[in-house]
């Protein structure tokens, strides 16, 4: 009989290498938001994959980058701390571009932490030159895959399971994340903001769920979107409220898939100056250092 294995696995890497897309592919369900905007992921999000012979608790981390404000510092601190608190690290890299200084910096963090690791070379569907992928081979054992197309995801799962220690079932088999529904609701709203606004707006947005009420045949949700400047509020609302209506409509559709029921979503936009540089406001919005 095969020994049951389990453990915590951190997905780390530079911004925009596809960590959140990979997490969704690994657990077989959308639990992490994705967008082309750097630093889309702000919180350490756990995704749970239960197999017949193993349970893997994936920790999706913010992209490790040079921070420009207190929020960025907190995100990088949390991602770095995650490296030291797991059973295995998967360093996710973009196989369509050569090994760079950012990848090397993160690899050095992993190496210095003396934690088992695996190199996950993503975006092979966009890699046209084998020599580009080969630049990562010197870092250690590796697996190539495409998170977007879900090519070779099973090979990555197998490689991860082989490196986990024997262990118990940490979560019930039907759980795919330990995050509450309210957190995911707020993230689904933020995802639509990232996808439909430009300039400085995406990086300056925080979303809080103020109220969730179960009514006859639907769930009523009240959410507040915070920005740092009045000009950002104007962009987010749009002419005659068109932008906010678009964001609300698309977010509502995603939330309905999450809870498998009809949703009424009401959005408000408020200005909170310099919230990304305020420890108090970061804590209020759920962005704090994790010990």
Global confidence as pTM: 0.74
In the structure, what pLDDT confidence band is assigned to residue 67 with cuts at 50, 70 and 90? low
Give residue 291's pLDDT.
Answer: 47
Residue 107, C-beta contacts closer than 8 angstroms, at least 6 positions apart: 91, 139
The strands making up 117-122's β-sheet, listed across from edge to edge, are 45-50, 54-60, 5-12, 88-94, 117-122, 142-144
Fold held by 5-162: Rossmann fold (3.40.50)
pLDDT per residue as tens digits for the range 229-279: 999 999 999 999 999 999 999 999 999 988 878 999 999 999 999 888 888
Q: Is the pLDDT of residue 161 over 90?
A: yes
pLDDT per residue as tens digits for the range 204-235: 899 999 999 998 889 999 999 999 999 999 99
Q: Are 78 and 62 in contact (CB under 8 A)?
A: yes
Degrees to nearest 5, angle at CA 10 with 146 and 291: 150
Rounded average pLDDT over 138-157 = 95
- Domain range list for the chain: 5-162, 181-284
Q: Which homologous superfamily is 181-284 in?
A: K homology (KH) domain (3.30.300.20)
């Amino acid at each position: 009989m095969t020994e049951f294995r389990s453990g915590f696995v951190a997905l780390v890497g530079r911004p925009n290498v596809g960590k959140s897309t990979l997490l969704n592919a690994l657990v077989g369900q959308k639990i992490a938001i994705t967008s082309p905007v750097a630093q889309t992921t702000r919180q350490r999000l756990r995704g749970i994959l239960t197999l017949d012979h193993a349970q893997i608790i994936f920790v999706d981390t913010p992209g490790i980058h040079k921070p420009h404000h207190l929020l960025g510092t907190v995100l990088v601190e949390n991602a770095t701390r995650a490296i030291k608190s797991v059973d295995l690290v998967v360093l996710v890299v973009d196989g369509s571009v050569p090994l760079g200084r950012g990848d090397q910096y993160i690899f050095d963090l992993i190496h210095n932490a003396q934690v088992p690791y695996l190199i996950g070379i993503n975006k092979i569907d966009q890699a046209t030159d084998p020599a580009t992928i080969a630049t990562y081979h010197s870092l250690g054992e590796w697996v190539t895959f495409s998170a977007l197309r879900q090519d070779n995801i099973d090979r990555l799962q197998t490689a991860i399971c082989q490196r986990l220690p024997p262990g118990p079932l940490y979560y019930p088999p039907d759980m795919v994340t330990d995050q509450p529904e309210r957190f995911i609701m707020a993230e689904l709203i933020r995802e639509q903001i990232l996808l439909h606004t430009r300039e400085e707006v995406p990086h300056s947005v925080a979303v809080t769920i103020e109220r969730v009420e179960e009514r006859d045949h639907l769930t009523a949700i009240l959410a507040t979107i915070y920005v740092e400047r009045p000009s950002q509020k104007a962009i987010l609302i749009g002419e005659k409220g068109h932008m906010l209506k678009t964001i609300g409509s698309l977010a509502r559709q995603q939330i309905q898939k999450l809870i498998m029921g009809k949703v009424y979503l009401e959005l408000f936009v408020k200005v909170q100056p310099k919230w990304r540089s305020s420890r108090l406001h970061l804590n209020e919005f759920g962005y704090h250092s994790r010990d």
